[in-house]
Structure 1
Amino acid sequence: MMTAGLVISIVLIVTMALGRVVSADHSWGNYHWARTTSSFNLIVVNSTTDEWDPFVAAAVADWSQSVVLDLVDDPTGSTSSKDRRQCRAPDGRVRICNLAYGYTGWLGVAGISIDVSGHIFKGYTKLNDSYFSLAYYNTPDWKQSVTCQELGHNVGLDHQDEDFNNTSLASCMDYQDPPFPYANAHDFEQLESIYAHADSYDSYAGGDDGGGGSGTCDAPPGKGCNKA
């Protein structure tokens, strides 16, 4: 069932700029999907165009190595420019989109909506072709890393680290250049910790409508946003 009521939209901006070091515990504010079972299937509505399909498929497969969740690629998402700009997430699902969103300071942005019980009940990821059309970012590793990272946010993970100048943690949840395209063991351990308990209802099963993502910075209190 879905929990109806107040919706709080939370947006996390991901950019490639120098930042702070974050805790080894990289849960994103304890946000998670409610579920009554030890593992669950989360549908990712794929509204990306053809050139992004391999990166979405690889990220979905990567995160599905977790013992607590499986991402399921739904290839039927609309790829109209209007729908990709809005990137509205259906209740109970994540939508992933690409478009030239402009030189906003972010390569990718992930947003989640929270129900009155504090659980995620929908999310979106936007991949910014304004930057990925540039030679520097138009590489498989950059595209894979950002896709992986944004979907990681959609299931409740924060960055492991936001300092480009230290040793790479070999995770897509770490800021690094060159980027790393996949999750690492600590990411999966963190997911196990986040989803170690069962809830009284499922927030990942729901209808066909949902709010959109503006791509603006409206992070949780104390979180802040990272600008290019």
Structure 2
Amino acid sequence: MLQNLFPPGIQHALDLAGIFVFATAGALLAVRKNFDVFGIAVLALATALGGGLFRDLVIGAVPPAAFGELSFFVTPLIAAALVFFLHPEVQRINRAISVLDAAGLSLFCVTGTTKAYEYGLGLTASAALGVVTGVGGGVLRDVLANEVPSLLRDREMYAVPAIVGAALVAVFIGLDMLGPVTSGFAVASTFVLRLLAMRFHWKAPLAWNRRSAVAEEP
């Protein structure tokens, strides 16, 4: 078995923090869409758990961690409740939430890749599921909210950092170098790349030599 990035207790706390931040982002979108309390809870759960749930079903880790660990299921509901009552205050710290979201993305793409490999997948498939772990919840959130998934219009390079992090983990596994230090490097690289993309508004390229007169939708 591969080593955990952190000791189990710290790892669990970081997982919960990532879930909470993702759930908060989903709940805020539900508020902006004028969803009711049930819709807010559903979007919070989908955003926080969607990627990990898909990964666990693919690799056969059943029951998925989202259902085997009560705290993973309760944490998004707590985030949804806070947003339901305090959404104006939460919205004011949206920039801080974006930074924490980058941290959650970084952690989840690395741990997702590691877990997929532990369940017998090859390096490429493991990296792909690592990316899905990081971005899958956001895709499900956007689909449920009738939005074009941000993954398909990678503004400020959300998916690209996850791909970089998952690929680094796969390379380290292939070189038999994966451990706390190299895993931490993959997390840090993903996190810094995401922050730089946010700071300088980096975007994934559009179609080569695109001449369409139709403006990009907002």
TM-score (norm 2): 0.29
Structure with more of its chain in helix, by fraction: 2
TM-score (norm 1): 0.28
Structure with more of its chain in strand, by fraction: 1
Structure with more contact order per residue of length (Cα contacts < 8 Å, sep ≥ 6): 1
